[in-house]
Amino acid sequence: MVKKQMANITIEELKQQWLGDPSWDIEETEGFEEYRAELLLFRLEQEKAQKGDRIEKLVKLSLLMGCTVEEAENYQLYKTRLTSPVFEKTGF
């Protein structure tokens, strides 16, 4: 029972690390094979929540700008590109 409790703490730490840098598929993390299903569910829930937040922000922006959601998304992409360090260095 104590081992399971320690494993849960480790899983929670792993989840927190992934939230800080979600650049890998958390369910494929070596040493956590036993928890693959739990970690996959966690990743999918987080990705769904992030997508929902993004769409909500785009809808609000489109209402403020008086344009479509697609136009607001294009504006965001354009704005991101203009503030990119690569753009600033190259001028592209």
Can you tell me which residue has the tokens 């990705």? 47
Can you tell me which residue has the tokens 């991101």? 80
The residues near 7 (Cβ < 8 Å, ≥ 6 apart) are: 34, 35
Q: Average pLDDT in the 42-69 region? A: 93
| Global pTM value | 0.61
Ramachandran angles phi, psi of 27, nearest 5°: -70, -15
Residue 86 confidence (pLDDT): 66
Residue 92 confidence (pLDDT): 52
pLDDT bracket for residue 1 (50, 70, 90): very low
pLDDT bracket for residue 80 (50, 70, 90): confident
* pLDDT tens digits, one per residue of 29-45: 988 999 999 999 999 99
Q: Average pLDDT in the 54-69 region? A: 93
23 pLDDT more than 70? yes
